[in-house]
Structure 1
Amino acid sequence: MTASVTHDPTGARAHARAQGGVRIETMPILPPSTADHLPEGVDPARMLWAETVAGGGYTALTVAAGTLIELTDLEGDACAHLALFNAVQTDERLNLADTVKVQWQAYLSAGSLLLSDRGRVLASILADGSAHHDTFAGTSNRRRNEERYGDGSPQGGTPAGLELLTLAAAKCGLAPRDLPPTVALFQGVRVEPDGAMRFTGSAGPGAGVRLRAELPLVLLLANVPHSLDPREQYVSTPLRVRAWSGAPAESDAPEATATPEAARAFANTIAYARLRGIR
């Protein structure tokens, strides 16, 4: 039927324009102020982005310092594989080894910082209703997905995280070699005394995580099953993304005064941002 109305340019144009008012759940909402499920207490005029990322989908955002980003696991089986870059200097990126080592803690929660390879704070975790996250395993890749599910291509029915993040990176001028190990939000892993990694799953539907960008950021996100998820099926459900304007932390913020390590990381971040004129 589509072919019959699009066999000439006039029909194709009419058909395309007829789709203008169509909305589906997994698409950006423009303007963001018209989205439902706005964060409580946030003026709609401050909204910068509203999107639901489908299971097996991805998104790429570039945000200003101070931007608040809220991720919500709508049905309990989302998994946000997240890569972060300094948008001003994209060779600076999320470093999970330093994130864990500097903070003496491998399990992220409210108050945790996502640190770069330069000892600076890329983002702070302001609130965490999940407590099921992973800094160890990284995202899935095409070869492993094809062993498990039969397909791992970005266009297939069971896409792998690395392939989706590669597409997201390309939209921001980044190459595959730029991708760092990713943090996984909403699906957890615990390390046993013998070193084995135990998959703990999710906290269930409705869990949310709120981040604040402490520098201008490129944020890449793939919503795919965790690489250690033992289920035979490819299980991945929608992830809601909301972003709104705010201000980055100052040196007296609770996140910056919580520990000596945090104080040093924020001092590095603030000095760098002021020197670059981005604060």
Structure 2
Amino acid sequence: MNQPIFNDLIPGASHWSMMIPAGNTLQFTDPEGGANVSLLFYNPQNLLERYNAPDTLKCQHTFRLTEGNCLYSDMGRIFCSIVRDDTQWIDTVGGVANKQKVADKWGHRDYQKDRNNWLQNGYDSLLVEVAKYGLGKRDLAANLNLFSKVYTDDQGNMNFAQDHSKAGDSIALRFEIDTLVVMTTCPHPMNPAAEYPHKPVALQLFKSEPLTADDSCLTHCSENGRGFENNQRYLAVSSCCGH
């Protein structure tokens, strides 16, 4: 992989966003083990277009995501491709915790009294971040949870896999169209830890390698081929229109 364009470290229980241009790869690394990154994606040219979890899962016939899968918008386009996943399982169904769930599990702290030691929740973190772009509650779709695994047992009950992500594990997303990425490093809502986990996540942005005909994300299934074709048409029209 090329030299990184930039490096950053996002503290635990934080939120952030950035616009990633097409042709770049954003790599997330868990420095300590046990991290969680909740992600949403939007089209910065049209914020009504956003990540669609049901379409992403059903068109690739999967309950979990990992290397080789793509992340779809609700317009049938591919925001990004998962080109590396050391954990081999990205949670798609766990969602984020709200203020009450965090308080019930880990107690209540607020910023006014506890400053950076307060107990932030994923829902409010995402809500604060999308508000920077004029978005609100109705714009929060189902999210991804990097470094977390939720699986079902024989009775259909959902279970959280403890110690799923190890120190040094990385997940890399290659962006196929310009994408607004919104994230929070608040703990997963099903995390059973006795103490609120403040787990940081390192970020690196790289220039992507050119897409090849045998790319594992492109060839993963026929639907992905159609998704990349939708991207090509969208990018061609956007280029003609000067976007």
Scaled by the length of structure 2, what TM-score is found? Answer: 0.89
Alpha-carbon distance change, 81 to 185 in structure 1, aligned in 2, over 3 angstroms: same
| Amino acid aligned to 1:268 | N
Partner of residue 178, structure 1? 139
| Amino acid aligned to 1:85 | Y
Partner of residue 204, structure 2? 242
The C-alpha deviation readout for 1:184-227, integer Å capped at 9, x for no partner, is 01011112232211111323111000101111111011001111
Alignment of 1:123-142 (within 5 A): 123-142=80-99
User: Could you say what secondary structure the match of 1:130 adopts?
Assistant: coil
Partner of residue 216, structure 1? 178
Alpha-carbon distance change, 217 to 247 in structure 1, aligned in 2, over 3 angstroms: farther
Any stretches of 5+ residues in structure 2 without a counterpart?
none
Partner of residue 27, structure 1? none
Q: Tell me the distance in 1 between the aligned counterparts of 2:110 and 2:225.
A: 43
Give the CA deviation at 1:91: 0.7
User: Could you say what secondary structure the match of 2:172 adopts?
Assistant: strand
> Residues 67 and 213 of structure 1 are in contact (CA less than 8 Å); yes or no, is this contact kept in structure 2?
yes
> Residues 215 and 248 of structure 1 are in contact (CA less than 8 Å); yes or no, is this contact kept in structure 2?
no
User: Could you say what secondary structure the match of 1:125 adopts?
Assistant: strand
The C-alpha deviation readout for 1:244-272, integer Å capped at 9, x for no partner, is 23367477643222311111111112211
| Amino acid aligned to 1:69 | L
Q: Which of 60, 63, 82 matches 1:106?
A: 63
Scaled by the length of structure 1, what TM-score is found? Answer: 0.78
Partner of residue 199, structure 1? 160
Q: Tell me the distance in 2 between the aligned counterparts of 1:162 and 1:91.
A: 19
User: Could you say what secondary structure the match of 2:48 adopts?
Assistant: coil
Q: Tell me the distance in 2 between the aligned counterparts of 1:153 and 1:94.
A: 31
Q: CA RMSD, aligned part only? A: 2.1
Partner of residue 36, structure 2? 79
| Amino acid aligned to 2:153 | E
User: Could you say what secondary structure the match of 1:270 adopts?
Assistant: helix
> Residues 34 and 199 of structure 2 are in contact (CA less than 8 Å); yes or no, is this contact kept in structure 1?
yes
> Residues 31 and 200 of structure 2 are in contact (CA less than 8 Å); yes or no, is this contact kept in structure 1?
yes
Any stretches of 5+ residues in structure 1 without a counterpart?
1-40
> Residues 132 and 188 of structure 1 are in contact (CA less than 8 Å); yes or no, is this contact kept in structure 2?
yes
Partner of residue 43, structure 1? 3
> Identity percentage over the alignment?
28
> Residues 36 and 148 of structure 2 are in contact (CA less than 8 Å); yes or no, is this contact kept in structure 1?
yes
Quick check: 172-181 or 218-227, which moved more? Answer: 172-181
Q: Which of 175, 195, 218 matches 1:233?
A: 195
> Residues 42 and 48 of structure 2 are in contact (CA less than 8 Å); yes or no, is this contact kept in structure 1?
yes
Structure of greater relative contact order (alpha carbons < 8 Å, 6+ residues apart)? 2
How many residues in Structure 1 have an aligned counterpart in Structure 2?
A: 236
User: Could you say what secondary structure the match of 1:134 adopts?
Assistant: coil
Partner of residue 22, structure 1? none
Partner of residue 78, structure 2? 121
Quick check: 148-157 or 238-247, which moved more? Answer: 148-157
Q: Tell me the distance in 2 between the aligned counterparts of 1:249 and 1:99.
A: 20
> Residues 142 and 153 of structure 1 are in contact (CA less than 8 Å); yes or no, is this contact kept in structure 2?
no
Q: Tell me the distance in 1 between the aligned counterparts of 2:8 and 2:146.
A: 17
Q: Tell me the distance in 2 between the aligned counterparts of 1:118 and 1:248.
A: 24
Alpha-carbon distance change, 101 to 78 in structure 1, aligned in 2, over 3 angstroms: same
Larger Rg: 1
| Amino acid aligned to 1:42 | N
> Residues 143 and 152 of structure 1 are in contact (CA less than 8 Å); yes or no, is this contact kept in structure 2?
no
Quick check: 223-232 or 69-78, which moved more? Answer: 223-232
